[in-house]
Structure 1
Amino acid sequence: MKFNKTSCENLRGQFLKFLLPSIGSMWFFALYTMLDGIFVGKGVGPEALAAVNLANPFISIIFTISLIVSVGSSNIITNLLGQDNKKKANEIFTLNVILILIISVFMSLVSIIFIDKIVTGLGANGELALYLKDYLFIIALGAPFVSLSYCLEILIKAEGSPSKSFTVLLVTTILNIVGNYLLIFVLDMGLKGAAISTIFAQFISFTIFLLHFLNKNSNLKFVKPNFDTKTLMIIVKRGFPDALTELSAGFVTFLFNYNVIKILGVKYLPAFSVILYVSNLVIVTMTAVNHGMQPLVSFYDGKKDRKSVMYLLKVSVKSAFILSLIFFVLIEVFTSQIVSIFLSKADMDLFNYSVYALRIYSVSFLVLSLNIVNSGYLNAIKQNTEAILVSAIRGYISISICLLVLPILFGDFGIWSSVIFSELITFLLSFILFKSKGVFKLSTAN
């Protein structure tokens, strides 16, 4: 294949076709999450907002289960479609949905049975524990709809219909806005209302996606799956790096919550809650770049088209960095306005501290974008070991070391700056490692 200007333009067009709906979908998903925080912070209070923050590690586990199966299946499905093997692609698609259903129902039951131990393990006590228990019980009850909706949203993009996922998420976001307003402000249901609104919107999302795949015009069909151990292991292997990234969000949240409570006290947990919502918007944007890149990279990798794969990596890195730079500038300029979306100025000490913490933390976004895209690319070209290593360094090893050492040396500044150093360590170590192994030149490894 001659790699000329026209083919570059075609690849750029294909990338944008996947990227823009993916960003739109992920932004609506982030907005969906942020709205809960806004309604809870304004309608219930800072302590309820802190409870939602404490629930994040639990929710991350739910999404991790969805990701480890769905992303792994998605990469395999797009690769198979690139080989025109629709029969096998449909088998993987069906197997994916069945696995998610079984696992999510099991997790829901276990979570409900051990709800009190989960609340205690997340660090809540007193009134905060009551808030958290009410919220987690409803989220756990609706976990299967959350998992299945997220799973089908990924797969609808894998089959080549990214714009449909955007439309569905737009509808469910609007439903969540209306539901939060009615249940929190009109019916005065507090944090329970926020949880019910979330689950109801996810149920509607799941229903619409399911109807799409049941339609005869869908590119992916439900068929009789082949439950072989080899296929299951491949799915888990391909989805594990992205799942590690998702789970790390809950792990990092837990570490931050521990440090904030220990050094600053429970009163300042809402400051980290604000950071989480803003950070989530940045992370899902970079994840959207991955979702826009990975199906195409897997497709051209299936065709053994190395130059196209490398071009897509270059475009993805540029896109991610430009977007992260825009986020950084906007956050630094409009920090007070952003914090005021979640917190009132009734407690000026908490408000001003949240502004201070967010400005420090946002510096990390400039490097975070490169690390996420780097890991996603490696996963798409089947460099699973390297992708897992990047995810492990970034989400567990470097952040744990930084959060262990920096708060001791610099107090609260060490808490908020730890993620900056963690992302830099990850970038430098992965760059040295992968350059020495020539990983970035690989695209057709088996």
Structure 2
Amino acid sequence: MDKIHHIPNVCIEKYHKSKDYSFRISGMRSIFAAKKMETTLSKNELQLSCERLRPLFLRYALPGVGAMLFLALQSIADGLIVGRLIGATALAAVNIVIPIYTLVTAVALMIGVGTQAQIGIRMGRGDYSGAKTALISGLVGLLFFTGTTTVGVNIFADEIAVFLGADNELLPLSTKYIHGLMPWLAGIGFQLLFDYMLKALGHPRFAMTVMIGTILLNIVSSVICVSYLGMGTFGTGLGTGMSFTLGAVVSGYVIVKQLRKNTELYTVHGRFSLKTFGHLFYNGSSEGLTEISTGVTVFLFNITLMKYVGAAGVAAFTLVDYLMFIGTSVILGISNGTIPIISYNWGARCMPRVKGIVRLALAGNLVCGAVMIFLLWVCGHAAVGLFIDSAESQVIDLAVRGARFMSLAFLFNGFNILASSFFTAIDKPGLSLVVASLRGPVLLVSGILSLPRWFGVDGIWLAMPLADALTAVIVLWLVLKWKKRL
């Protein structure tokens, strides 16, 4: 018989008394097997395997939403700090070298999501040695990557900035930002990794608290370094690096304490495995691809709008992108927040709980999408007006029209994003990568390049909803194919 989820007696009693059929694992046969195994579970595992699904979903999804919204706030706040306190030239200089930062965060997300999924699946199976090996492999792999990247980027800062497009005017400001931020790459990477590990170990609310605190500290420290200490772009990078490193220290300390409380996981032997690292890196690749493709598609939106409308079109897209990013962040928070629950119960073969949590997440995403569509169609003018002076009538009109067209993506992207997270959670990285590739590099890029030829500016705005609609059709086929496995 396959190894079956090791439910303690308290959960078995709860199963017998409860009318919630999500507690059914694999019938009475599994319950008797669970009694026979008598393995001690941590508090986190008890919650994942026995807690009612709705409160469990809220306990993981809401902190995910909170963390993602504050990450969205950080990108907006950094732009405001640099643009207003230093100047437009400094903002351009920082934006030129942002791809390096995006690369590091993308790799950290790949490793973090992959590690989280592997820990959950292996703990669900009762394979604590495999869970610890995944944890150690993720830590060592990220340390090696951030260490080598830090040395290389700081040594060749000038060459990298020039390669990314910095001219003689931007080069000094770009290299200062690099030297302020890049020595802290390990801290930035580990804070992102530890955020996922804390969720895997059953502390989503604490992970959110640390992430919010890190971002608020980043904003405050950047203002101090730039406005009061006069450090310019160096201070902007320094504030970000120090804040995330402090967040990593706090998160790491708590992770060590929680590991000690989980006797099964703490005492078992684990080691670095290159094979395990490669697999968890591959399993998280869809999240990294999404991060990287976002930068590519923004670039394509900008140059296409510049061609058809000019600077007003780029400004309008920037405003629409802010609004879309807020809604997408909520959907990402819900979808990624469910990964620990899905992974653990998939590993334990608790299919009714997997199906139940997927239904709740999908309902949450669809409600969020409906709200965003309503707001952008009915309140789009007011929302755009929050970011720009009312005198910029051309930009406002473009942005309102663009927001209405692009908001239609919310009819489909909640389903697509959840599907990508689901396939990652059940250790099917190839399928997750297919979903992420379709939404970004394949269909969206194709739409941006082709649709304006037939529909003009409206074709640019329609590229995103059409890409998500076509992706949803393919994803539905993939989901139906896997439905029998649930």
One fold, TM greater than 0.5?
A: yes
1:425 alignment counterpart: 470
User: Greater Rg, structure 1 or structure 2?
Assistant: 2
Q: Which moved more, 1:423-432 or 1:71-80?
A: 423-432
Structure 2 residue corresponding to 1:30, chosen from 72, 78, 87:
72
TM-score (norm 2): 0.80
| 2:329 equivalent in structure 1 | 284
Q: Is 1:12 matched with 2:49? A: no
Question: How many residues are paired up?
Answer: 441
> With CA pairs under 8 Å and 6+ residues apart, which has the higher RCO, 1 or 2?
1
Aligned to 1:304: 349
Q: Closer, same or farther in 2 for the Cα pair 1:199/1:106, shift >3 Å?
A: same
- In the TM superposition, structure 1's runs of 4+ consecutive aligned residues that sit over 6 Å from their partners are none
Distance 1:222 1:131 in 2: 50
Structure 1 distance, partners of 2:303, 2:269, is 47
Identity of aligned residues (%): 26
SS in 1 for 2:52: helix
- The within-5 A match list for 1:213-292 is 213-215=255-257, 217=260, 219=262, 225-265=270-310, 269-292=314-337
Q: Say whether the 8 Å CA contact 1:324–1:365 is kept in structure 2.
A: yes
Other structure's SS at 1:215 match? helix
2:84 aligned with 1:69, yes or no? no
Change (3 A) 1:56 1:398: farther
Greater CA drift, 148-157 or 126-135: 126-135
Work out whether 1:104 is the aligned partner of 2:146.
Answer: yes
The reply on whether 1:196 has 2:196 as its aligned counterpart is no
Distance in structure 2 (CA, Å) of the matches to 1:353 and 1:296? 42
Aligned residue among 96, 100, 122 for 1:80: 122
Contact 1:172/1:202 (8 A) holds in 2: yes
State which of 113, 128, 142 in structure 1 corresponds to 2:184: 142
- Distance in 1 of aligned mates of 2:209 and 2:160: 35
Mark the CA change 1:142 to 1:411 in structure 2 (over 3 Å): closer, same or farther. Answer: farther
Instruction: Give deviations 1:88-109, integer Å, cap 9, x for gaps.
Output: 3223212211211110222233
1:388 and 2:433 are equivalent in the alignment: yes
CA contact (8 A) 2:61 2:333 kept: yes
Hey, what's the Cα distance between the residues in 1 that align with 2:314 and 2:269? 49
Structure 2 residues not aligned, in runs of 5+: 1-14, 24-50
Q: Out of 203, 210, 215, which is 1:173 matched to? A: 215
CA spacing shift, 1:142–1:374, aligned 2, 3 Å: same
2:43 paired residue number: none
Shift in Å, 1:283: 2.9
Query: How far 1:379 sits from its partner (Å)?
Result: 2.0
Contact 2:180 2:235 in 1 (8 A): no
Structure 1 unaligned spans of 5+: none
Pair 353,144 (structure 1): closer, same or farther in 2 beyond 3 Å: farther
**1: CA distance, partners of 2:235 / 2:406:** 31
Instruction: Please say if residues 339 and 351 of structure 1, whose CA atoms lie closer than 8 Å, have aligned partners that are also in contact.
Output: yes
Q: TM-score, normalised by structure 1?
A: 0.86
- Of residues 243-252 and 318-327 in structure 1, the stretch that sits farther from structure 2 once superposed is 243-252
**CA shift for structure 1 position 162:** 0.9
Counterpart AA for 2:141: L
Amino acid at match of 1:25: A
CA distance in 1, matches of 2:226, 2:305: 28
Of the three residues 222, 228, 251, the one matched with 1:209 is 251
Write the distance in 2 (CA, Å) between the matches of 1:335 and 1:44: 30
Is residue 238–residue 384 contact of structure 1 (8 Å, CA) maintained in 2?
yes
- The equivalent of 2:360 in structure 1 is 315
- Mapped to 2, the partners of 1:119 and 1:294 lie a distance apart of 37
**Closer/same/farther in 2, CA of residues 214 and 385 from structure 1, 3 Å limit:** closer
Match of 2:485 in 1: 442
AA aligned opposite 1:441: K
The 1:196/1:263 distance shift into structure 2, 3 A limit, reads: farther
Matches within 5 A, 1:366-405: 366-405=411-450
Give RMSD over aligned pairs: 3.2
Q: Deviations over 1:151-203 (max 9, x none)?
A: 00110100111111122123223212322433444455554443332222212
Match of 1:153 among 192, 195, 198: 195
8 A contact 2:128–2:268 mirrored in 1: no
